[in-house]
Structure 1
Amino acid sequence: MPFDLLFFAAMVPAVILTGLAKGGFSGIGLLSLPLMALVVSPVTAAAIMLPLLIAQDVVSVWSYRRDFDRRNLATLAPGALLGILVGYLLAAKVSDAAVVLAVGLISVGFALRRMLSDGRKPAVATQANWSAGSLWGFLCGFTSMVAHAGGPPFQIYVMPQKLKPAVFVGTGAVFFAAMNLVKLIPYLALGQLNSQNLMASAALLPFAVAATFAGVWLVRRVPAERFYGIVYWLLLLVGGKLIFDGLRDLHLLG
């Protein structure tokens, strides 16, 4: 893997996008893997990204250490652990393209439903519960394991609860930090955390940390209504990108 200008031209913007997502603009980080895949394989991109995600988790968890919802974490955790295990067991069999397409379709459908209904009447805030939390937690764990794409399922479950932006972001920060630590075990077992990939992660680490602090700074200055409007649009755009990628990789675009 050559550390040339092309490598950094693709990888640095990808890491910055992930940092902004970790800082609070959830969803936008999904655009990072397609950028990385321009210069390395998707598997290598995921392996390089995992140590960076853990470093970013340290920043985001510390920044939101007083702003998270324990009930959401409790309802999501069991399903997420099961999803990671299933993702590991099916790592060699599951179609990444099919997973990406499914996540994209769910994301776009949810975002459109919320955006089209918001203009009619204020939606009643939902509450965290075990049945929905287990389902979306499983999807978070599975899609995070196979494609680092756990953000949309988390958003679909938590966003209707209308938490304060800081609590919404903080809950995601703690949840994904725990998941990423758990994912170290299967990634090591799959042999993806080799010395070359870790060297690439180390070279990109300063950009990852700086972008995360920038995301935290922005989230704390954006009003709640505007914050959720931005997240819905990001979810819609990222979902559209995932649908395109899934259809292309399944060779359904002709």
Structure 2
Amino acid sequence: MQSLEADLVFFAFAVPAVVFAGVSKGGFGSGAAFASASILALIIEPGQALALMLPLLMLIDVAALRPYWRRWSSKEAAVLILGGIPGVALGAWLFSALDADAMRLMIGTLSVAFVIWQMRGHLGFSLQAGRVLPGWAGALAGGVGGFTSFVSHAGGPPVAVYLLSKKPSKTEYQATTVLVFWVLNLAKAIPYAGLGLFSIETLRLDLLLAPFALLGTWLGVRLHHSIPERLFFAVAYVLLTLTGVKLIWDGLT
């Protein structure tokens, strides 16, 4: 791996990326948080970007747990976590051999297709459209989310697809994603360490970037509680679309 230097160029990319991750995970369901690792991958190696972001994502998870404590759907969270843990294990097993671009392309396509399906027949956003997905689909979404979360921190879209189909309140939706990814990110930490992704340099930079992660989380929680529920889900669908398009782009290029 290349040497990491905490210079002005690095922080010019890293600070906005980390704040954005905090806002996304703290207020809008984690759907776009994966983009932070993509931004960092513009200036450092992808493996280093993943390793740098994981402790920060874990810090954001912990900071977001308190404001959303016990406001999640325990049933849906359990389904997603039970599916997600094997997905994380599969990601760890195949990390060195898998074709990450093909997986990005698949998840991105499914995310955009889901939004189109939910919005079909309507002009603009319709939050009541679409079919409620069954429990087995939640386990599958959790498995895919755990897998893609391990290899690219892009577990948000599959989880969002399942949860949005259940038509939760905005806070139930947000709290459930916080709980699910708190568990999955904890599960990722040990295999990340075993694969040698962490280093003294990445952990040192994590300490420097931690205040910005907390700032972004605080902003996300404030925004979550200050905007109307219909607008919240409109933003959630937009973020899901944007992340899907970005995953498709990354997979093709």
TM-score by length of 2: 0.93
Does the 8 Å CA contact 1:125/1:162 hold for their aligned counterparts? no
1:14 maps onto 2:20 in alignment: no
**1:59-90 CA-partner distances (Å, limit 9, x unpaired):** 11111003100000121122111101110000
**2:39 and 2:8 mapped to 1: Cα distance?**
14
Does the 8 Å CA contact 1:107/1:239 hold for their aligned counterparts? yes
Partner SS state of residue 120, structure 2: helix
1:5 maps onto 2:8 in alignment: yes
Aligned to 1:23, which of 15, 22, 26? 26
Letter in 2 for 1:61: L
**1:87 and 1:150 mapped to 2: Cα distance?**
12
**1:105 and 1:187 mapped to 2: Cα distance?**
27
Aligned to 1:135, which of 135, 140, 143? 140
**Partner residue in 2 for 1:62:** 66
**2:60 and 2:174 mapped to 1: Cα distance?**
13
**Partner residue in 1 for 2:87:** 83
Does the 8 Å CA contact 1:17/1:211 hold for their aligned counterparts? yes
**1:149 and 1:116 mapped to 2: Cα distance?**
25
Q: Percent identity?
A: 38
Q: Report the alpha carbon displacement of residue 235 of structure 1 after superposing the two structures with TM.
A: 1.1
Does the 8 Å CA contact 1:22/1:173 hold for their aligned counterparts? yes
Structure 1: which 5+ residue stretches go unaligned? Answer: 249-254
Partner SS state of residue 29, structure 1: coil
Count matched residues: 247
Does the 8 Å CA contact 1:115/1:232 hold for their aligned counterparts? no
**1:135 and 1:152 mapped to 2: Cα distance?**
13
Does the 8 Å CA contact 1:112/1:236 hold for their aligned counterparts? no
**Partner residue in 2 for 1:51:** 55
TM-score by length of 1: 0.93
**Partner residue in 1 for 2:132:** 126
1:71 maps onto 2:75 in alignment: yes
Partner SS state of residue 191, structure 1: coil
**1:237 and 1:178 mapped to 2: Cα distance?**
25
Does the 8 Å CA contact 2:118/2:130 hold for their aligned counterparts? no
Mean CA deviation greater in 22-31 or 61-70: 22-31
Q: Report the alpha carbon displacement of residue 124 of structure 1 after superposing the two structures with TM.
A: 6.5
1:172 maps onto 2:177 in alignment: yes
1:222 maps onto 2:227 in alignment: yes
Partner SS state of residue 66, structure 1: coil
Partner SS state of residue 3, structure 1: coil
**2:104 and 2:25 mapped to 1: Cα distance?**
20
Moved beyond 6 Å, runs of 4+: none
1:157 maps onto 2:162 in alignment: yes
Q: Report the alpha carbon displacement of residue 30 of structure 1 after superposing the two structures with TM.
A: 2.4
Does the 8 Å CA contact 2:145/2:158 hold for their aligned counterparts? yes
**2:77 and 2:145 mapped to 1: Cα distance?**
12
Partner SS state of residue 28, structure 1: coil
Structure 2: which 5+ residue stretches go unaligned? Answer: none
**1:182 and 1:124 mapped to 2: Cα distance?**
32
**2:101 and 2:109 mapped to 1: Cα distance?**
12
